[in-house]
Amino acid sequence: MKLPDYKEKQRILYVAKKPAKDLIAQGDRYLAANRVSDALEFYQKVQHAPGLEKIKSIAQGEGDVMTYQQAMKSLNREPSQGDWNDIGKTALDKKKYNFALAAFEKSANTAMLDQINEILKSRDV
């Protein structure tokens, strides 16, 4: 089944009065298609904790700081310094240096910030 285009997705999310189960199903469809950001929007709309938890886990595994932060905010949870360090290390392993920087800034891990800044300097040469 084809996913809605952007305009239709916006209509479903913000204009149509769809029941929560339909929005969750739509989020599940987007997630199955690996469109995590779109799925996140649907899960956020209805505060679907199981879907938000899935997205949080995906973001952790990918080192995706922004999606992780959005999922945690939607779950009304504040990541610990250890959480930020873990996602920062994942981002660094995946060479997602900007995400790693953002995570280590949030954890105030100056040693890792210095390491990433050295990596970035060597890439600019």
Q: Residue 14 domain-assigned?
A: yes
Where among 64, 92, 113 does a domain terminate?
A: 64
Tens of pLDDT, residues 39-55: 999 999 999 999 999 99
Residues 6+ apart with CB under 8 A from 45: 13, 23
Q: How far apart are CA 67 and CA 5, in angstroms?
A: 21
Q: Residue 114 domain-assigned?
A: yes
Tens of pLDDT, residues 83-122: 999 999 999 999 999 999 999 999 999 999 999 999 989 8
pTM of the full structure: 0.89
Q: How far apart are CA 9 and CA 96, in angstroms?
A: 29
**Whether residue 54 is found in the same domain as residue 91:** no
pLDDT reading at 125 higher than 70: no
Q: Which domain range does residue 44 map to?
A: 7-64
Q: Where on the phi/psi map is residue 34: left (φ > 0), alpha (ψ -120 to 50), or beta?
A: left
Q: How far apart are CA 120 and CA 117, in angstroms?
A: 5
Q: Residue 73 domain-assigned?
A: no
Tokens representing 117 are: 């800044």
Helix orientation angle between 49-62 and 36-46, rounded to the nearest 10 degrees: 150
Count the Cβ atoms, other than its own, within 10 Å of residue 58: 18
